[in-house]
Chains A and B, each alone.
Chain A
Amino acid sequence: MSVSATISGLPMLDFGSVAVTLKLAVASTGILMLVATPLAWWLANTNSRFKPLVESITALSIVLPPTVLGFYLLILFNPDSPIGAGWVKLTGDTLAFSFTGILLAAVLHSFPFAVQPIQAAFEKVGKRAMETAASLGAKPLDAFFTVAVPLAKRGFLTGGVLAFSHSVGEFGVILMVGGNIPGYTRVVSIDIYTSVETLDYERAHILSLGTLAFAFAAMMLLFMINRRYRHYDEI
Chain B
Amino acid sequence: MTKSEDCLEFSIKIEFLKFNLNVAERIPLDGVTALVGESGAGKSTLLRVIAGIERTAQGTVRFRGRTWMDSDAGVFVPAHRRAVGIVFQEGRLFSHFSVKGNLDYGFRRNRGRDGPNWDEVCSALDLDPLMNRRVNTLSGGEQQRVALGRALLSAPELLLLDEPLASLDSDSKDEIIPYLRRVISAFRLPAIYISHSREELRTLVDNILTVSNGKIVQRNDGAAEVGQRQLLNGIMGKPMGVGLAMCKIGGSEVMARLENPVAEGTKVALAFLDTDLAVAEEGWPAQLNAGEISAVIDRVEIGGCGHYANLVLETEGGPIRIKVHLRQGGGSELVKGLRVAAVFIRPPHVMG
Interface residues of A (CB under 8 A from B): 128-129, 131-140, 142-143, 146-147, 150-151, 153, 231-235
Q: How far is the CB of A165 from chain B (nearest CB, A)?
A: 26
Within the assembled complex, what's the spacing in Å between the Cα atoms of A233 and B93?
12
Main secondary structure of the interface of A (DSSP, over half): helix
Task: Decide if B229 is an interface residue (CB 8 Å cutoff).
Answer: no
CB < 8 Å neighbour of B92 from A132, A153, A232: A132
| Contacts of B277-300 to chain A: CB distance below 8 A | none
Q: Cβ of A137 and Cβ of B95 under 8 Å apart?
A: no
Q: Cβ of B94 and Cβ of A135 under 8 Å apart?
A: no
| Contacts of B87-120 to chain A: CB distance below 8 A | 88, 91-96, 105-106, 109-111
Within the assembled complex, what's the spacing in Å between the Cα atoms of A136 and B293?
54
Q: Cβ of A133 and Cβ of B85 under 8 Å apart?
A: no
- A128-B88, A135-B151, A235-B136 known; 15 new pairs, CB 8 Å cut-off, are A128-B92, A129-B92, A134-B78, A134-B80, A135-B80, A136-B109, A136-B151, A137-B110, A138-B80, A140-B78, A150-B96, A232-B95, A234-B95, A235-B91, A235-B93
Q: Cβ of B95 and Cβ of A151 under 8 Å apart?
A: yes
Q: Cβ of A136 and Cβ of B96 under 8 Å apart?
A: no
5 A-B Cβ contacts within 8 A?
Answer: A128-B88, A131-B53, A134-B78, A135-B154, A139-B80
Interface residues of B (CB under 8 A from A): 51-53, 78-80, 83-86, 88, 91-96, 105-106, 109-111, 134-136, 150-151, 154
Q: How far is the CB of A150 from chain B (nearest CB, A)?
A: 4
CB < 8 Å neighbour of A137 from B53, B88, B106, B136: B106
Closest 8 pairs between A and B when the two form their complex, measured CB to CB: A137-B109, A136-B106, A134-B79, A234-B136, A235-B95, A150-B96, A131-B53, A135-B86
- Residues of B within 8 Å of A235, CB to CB, are 91, 93, 95, 135-136
Q: How far is the CB of B188 from chain A (nearest CB, A)?
A: 20
Which of A132, A137, A139, A140 counts the most chain B CB atoms within 10 A? A137
Contact A137/B111 with A132-B86, A235-B136 known, Cβ cut-off 8 Å: yes
Within the assembled complex, what's the spacing in Å between the Cα atoms of A100 and B247?
102
